[in-house]
Chain A
Amino acid sequence: GENVEQHPSTLSVQEGDSAVIKCTYSDSASNYFPWYKQELGKRPQLIIDIRSNVGEKKDQRIAVTLNKTAKHFSLHITETQPEDSAVYFCAARSSGGSYIPTFGRGTSLIVHP
């Protein structure tokens, strides 16, 4: 089955800095990669996603890049703000069979004012 590794587990940055979270996956059949933001005690919220026919996608301060050859994808947050502080989960989902995403272990992002 799919295995998703996510790094780092904790990331501390100053307000205004950029933050990068990296994930690798094992199943070459995976073709959909969502990112979720989860604040303490709240639901995982889909913030951006990318499909395997695209190398990069951007939405305001958030961007995701995908390297299918190397089987890794990254989340980039620019001009971080304190309200970006949360746990971020990457996930990978296969194109066939099960549509259940496999989640990474999460990255706790702390943005210091």
Chain B
Amino acid sequence: AAGVIQSPRHLIKEKRETATLKCYPIPRHDTVYWYQQGPGQDPQFLISFYEKMQSDKGSIPDRFSAQQFSDYHSELNMSSLELGDSALYFCASSLEGGTYEQYFGPGTRLTVT
């Protein structure tokens, strides 16, 4: 079965640079979530989209923005990167606004040097 696709899988950036992470949900899934996970921590919810509209907002820094496109893929844009932004970034998708199960993508490991 098709799964959530994320790209790139690994990304190395310097402080103050920008980064764009991409997420392609499972086909027919209309809801996308972004999570940040630091070492030894649980996934922290950043933001979600349902039918291309922002549906929930969590602990997303103002330096980050995201959107969901007409084909339901989503992009997380990160600017003015800081050392503390180094983490695993997961995208998850679900059906019908989140009433069904969430399935996680393989993640993007972002390292800020």
- Could you tell me which A residues sit within 8 Å of B by CB distance? 34, 36, 41-46, 49, 89, 93, 98-101, 103-106
Contacts and interface: CB of A to CB of B under 8 A. Distances in A.
Contact of A101 (B97, B102, B103): B102
Interface in B58-104: 58, 88, 90, 94, 97-99, 101-104
Contact of B106 (A34, A42, A100): A42
A42 to B, nearest CB: 7
Q: Mostly helix, strand, loop or mixed at chain A's interface?
A: loop
Interface string B28-48: 000101000000011101001
Contacts of B105: 43
B90 A46 contact: no
B106 to A, nearest CB: 5
A89 B98 CA distance: 18
B56 interface: yes
9 contacts: A42-B106, A43-B90, A43-B105, A44-B43, A44-B104, A46-B101, A98-B56, A101-B102, A103-B43
Given A34-B102, A41-B88, A41-B109, 7 more contacts: A46-B102, A46-B103, A89-B42, A99-B31, A100-B56, A105-B42, A106-B41
A45 B103 CA distance: 7
Contacts of B99: 99
Which of A43, A103, A105, A106 has the most B CB atoms < 10 Å from its CB? Answer: A43
Contacts of B45: 100
B25 interface: no
A43 B56 contact: no
Contacts of A49: 101
A41 B81 CA distance: 22
B98 A100 contact: yes
A43 B104 contact: yes
